[in-house]
């Protein structure tokens, strides 16, 4: 946890994850289905950081970096929660303004309406400390044009710092970082389509949800079964994702899990929480689940060789379908394992209103909602192994 002054010096370690998302205090309106709530720790930044932090674990918590703008009305209890996570969080205090607040309204079929209640303070890439600029990965929630601008500015700043000998002594400082982009829902329109396709070419992962993707192409939603759904995916992949055209389109589909497409393969992973035979579900509130999914995916792409990744590898070591899929995607930053982490991270976020509760057990192990992240990864991966053996084609298709 650092204050703004001296941030670049204090963030001296290697940063693995940096979000350009905003911190927001949320008011949530459930349309009469349950009591409304106020002052909830939220915004894309908070939820993305929770996802990244779950994957990073205690040992690498300081590699997760973000900026929180604190206004005169900032609740002290929210600050206590943020401090508990032990991330590299740059706190910027400004008593002359209010903290960014927003209203979230939920209707039928997880439809979400969103509006700001106070003026927002957008994060610009010029605001990042030198350590943050050299993060291994970046998570963005923004318009197409802003996405392109952020990527260009980050790469330019890195190049300038390298030229003046100010780059950190880490191997990754000489390589291009991973960019993961979440398009903003209100600009998922047919008019924005060409700019969307252009922005895809500068990022490594683009991830709208199924409603947003449909709207971008003039449809009420996206469905893999529909011909128009297949056409949308084909058009995006042919246009290209990433500088080499081999990036990933990850479609978040809520209770139906996620679909990931690249030029080499198609992947479907079910959601962690499945309804019980009685129809009961552990899902309380989906707010922020998509952000956490992508925070975990982003951090997961740079977490090879650590406990969660090793666990996935050991459980799926005998799965021919998994090994084939890994081989097909080998040069692309461990995205398969990262998708598992993303699915599990989202499961923690939907179980309550706001962020999951973090605690430590008597053995010093870190718990979220009374469960270890790695334990859920193990349970989910074992379940995946069984369904992979039964119907590998349902999960993976090599193009």
pLDDT band at 273 (very low <50, low <70, confident <90, very high): very high
pLDDT tens for 299-319 read 999 999 999 999 999 999 999
Share of the chain above pLDDT 90, in %: 80
CATH number of the domain enclosing 390: 3.40.1190.20
For residue 181, give its domain range. 2-398
Domain count of the fold of the chain: 1
pLDDT tens for 377-389 read 999 999 999 999 9
pLDDT at 110: 62
pLDDT at 70: 93
Q: What is the 3-state secondary structure (H, E, C) of the chain?
A: CEECCCHHHHCCCCCCEEECCCCEEEEEECCCCCCCEEEEEEHHHHHHHHHHHHHHCHHHHHHEEEEEEECCCCCHHHHHHHHHHCCEEEEEECCCCCCCEEEEEECHHHCEEEEECCCCCCCCHHHCCHHHHCCCEEEEEECHHHHHHHHHHHHHHHHHHHHCCCCCCCHHHHCCCEEEEEECHHHCCHHHHHHHHHHHCCCCEECCEHHHHHHHCCCCCCCCCCHHHHHHHHHHHHHCCCCCCCCEEEEECHHHCEEEECCCEEEEECCCCCCCCCCCCCCCCCCCHHHHHHHHHHHHCCCCCCHHHHHHHHHCCCCHHHHHHHHHCCCCCCHHHHHHHHHHHHHHHCCCCCCCCEEECCCCCEEECCECHHHHHHHHHHHHHHHHHHCHHHHEEEC
| Total-model pTM | 0.94
Among 13-17, 247-251, 261-265, name the one with the lowest average pLDDT: 13-17
- 193 versus 9: the higher-pLDDT residue is 193
pLDDT at 142: 96
Q: Say if residue 398's pLDDT is above 90.
A: no
pLDDT tens for 25-75 read 999 888 888 889 888 999 999 999 999 999 999 999 999 999 999 999 999
Q: Say if residue 4's pLDDT is above 50.
A: no
pLDDT band at 109 (very low <50, low <70, confident <90, very high): low
Q: Say if residue 12's pLDDT is above 90.
A: no
pLDDT at 33: 83
pLDDT at 79: 92
- 7 versus 248: the higher-pLDDT residue is 248
Q: Say if residue 204's pLDDT is above 60.
A: yes
pLDDT band at 365 (very low <50, low <70, confident <90, very high): very high
Q: Say if residue 279's pLDDT is above 90.
A: no
pLDDT at 285: 86
Q: What is the mean pLDDT of the chain?
A: 92
Q: Say if residue 9's pLDDT is above 80.
A: no
- 299 versus 169: the higher-pLDDT residue is 299
């Amino acid at each position: 946890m650092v204050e703004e002054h001296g941030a670049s010096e204090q963030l001296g370690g290697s940063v693995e994850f940096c979000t350009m998302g905003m911190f927001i205090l949320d008011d949530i309106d459930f349309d009469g289905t349950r009591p409304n709530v106020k002052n909830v720790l939220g915004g894309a930044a908070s939820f993305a950081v929770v996802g990244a932090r779950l994957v990073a674990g205690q040992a690498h918590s300081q590699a997760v970096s973000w900026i929180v703008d604190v206004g005169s009305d900032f609740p002290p209890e929210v600050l206590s929660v943020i401090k508990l996570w032990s991330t590299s969080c740059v706190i910027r205090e400004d008593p002359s303004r209010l903290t960014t607040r927003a209203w979230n309204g939920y209707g039928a079929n997880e439809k979400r309406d969103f509006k700001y209640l106070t003026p927002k303070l957008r994060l610009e890439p010029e605001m990042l400390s030198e350590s943050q600029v050299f993060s291994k990965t970046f998570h963005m929630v923004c318009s197409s044009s802003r996405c392109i601008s952020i990527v260009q500015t980050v790469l330019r700043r890195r190049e300038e710092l390298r030229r003046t000998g100010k780059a950190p002594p880490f191997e990754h400082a000489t390589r291009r970082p991973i960019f993961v982009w979440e398009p903003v829902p209100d600009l998922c329109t047919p008019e924005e389509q060409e700019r969307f396709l252009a922005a895809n070419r500068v990022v490594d992962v683009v991830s709208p949800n199924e409603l947003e993707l449909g709207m971008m192409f003039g449809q009420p939603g996206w469905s893999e079964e529909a011909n128009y759904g297949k056409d949308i995916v084909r058009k995006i992949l042919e246009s290209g994702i990433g500088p080499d055209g081999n990036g990933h389109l990850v479609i978040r589909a809520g209770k139906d899990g996620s679909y990931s497409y690249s030029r080499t393969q198609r992947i479907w992973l079910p959601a962690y929480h499945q309804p019980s035979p009685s129809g009961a579900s552990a899902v309380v509130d989906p707010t922020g689940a998509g952000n956490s999914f992508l925070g975990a995916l982003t951090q997961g792409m740079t977490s090879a060789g650590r406990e969660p990744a090793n666990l996935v590898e050991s459980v799926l070591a005998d799965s021919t379908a998994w090994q084939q899929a890994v081989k097909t995607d080998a040069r692309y930053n461990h995205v398969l394992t990262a998708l598992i982490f993303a699915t599990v991270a989202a499961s923690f976020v939907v179980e309550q209103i706001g962020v999951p509760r973090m605690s430590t057990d008597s053995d010093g192990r870190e718990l979220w909602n009374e469960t270890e992240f790695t334990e859920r990864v193990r349970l989910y991966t074992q379940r995946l192994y069984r369904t992979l053996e039964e119907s590998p084609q349902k999960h993976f298709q090599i193009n």
